[in-house]
Amino acid sequence: RLDLWNDPLSRALSAAAVAKQAELTTQEISNLAWAQARIYCVDMNLCNALADRAILRAPNLNKQELSVLAWAFATMAHVHRPLLHALADQIEQRIDELGPLEVANSTWAFAKVAFSHEPVLAALATASEATVWPKGPDSNDSEKNDSMAPNGVYSVVWS
């Protein structure tokens, strides 16, 4: 990992990514957004280009790419409403595909940017509940303890 910040290099890489945006795969879109968020380097031209491309490719994003994009844009505090709506729609439609980490990351991201999209928030709440209590919240205590998924619990609590 390079711990030296180089502004001209960063600008050149961002410009190259923007120029090639039409060629980016869904994984590359997700990875570029994650990388910007991870190093707290927010190039608005690149963010907007990635968001626009992700909206076009939203049905092709896998569960990890959906949650990573939501997490990255929330981490950068870049509230791109059309992107958030596209991600929310896809997450809601494919909520059963998401694992505990994707549910937690998506929940955290929407909360972080105060994005209110009731259908996806309800779906995420239901998925979170199912992660904590696979047999349902009304099962008796021994069933809850026997069926609770530990990795799901910490992921949901974190979000």
pLDDT of res. 151: 59
Alpha carbon distance 107, 90 (integer Å):
14
- Residue 45 is inside which H or E element, if any? helix 44-57
* Model pLDDT for residues 59-94, shown as the tens digit of each residue: 999 999 999 999 999 999 999 999 999 999 999 999
pLDDT of res. 144: 47
- Residue 144 is inside which H or E element, if any? helix 141-147
pTM for this model (two decimals): 0.82
Alpha carbon distance 15, 155 (integer Å):
36
pLDDT of res. 43: 85
pLDDT of res. 2: 54
Alpha carbon distance 92, 15 (integer Å):
33
Lowest mean pLDDT among 5-9, 24-28, 60-64, 130-134: 130-134
pLDDT of res. 38: 87
Q: Within a 10 A sphere around the Cβ of 157, how many other Cβ atoms? A: 10
Write 118-121 long-range contacts (CB < 8 A, 24+). 119/88, 119/92, 120/88, 120/89, 120/91, 120/92
Q: Are 43 and 74 in contact (CB under 8 A)?
A: no
- Phi and psi for 118 in degrees, rounded to 5? -50, -45
* Model pLDDT for residues 100-144, shown as the tens digit of each residue: 889 989 999 999 999 988 999 999 999 888 776 666 656 655 444
Evaluate if residue 26 carries a pLDDT over 60: yes
Please give the single-letter amino acid code of residue 110.
F
pLDDT of res. 145: 45
Evaluate if residue 96 carries a pLDDT over 90: yes
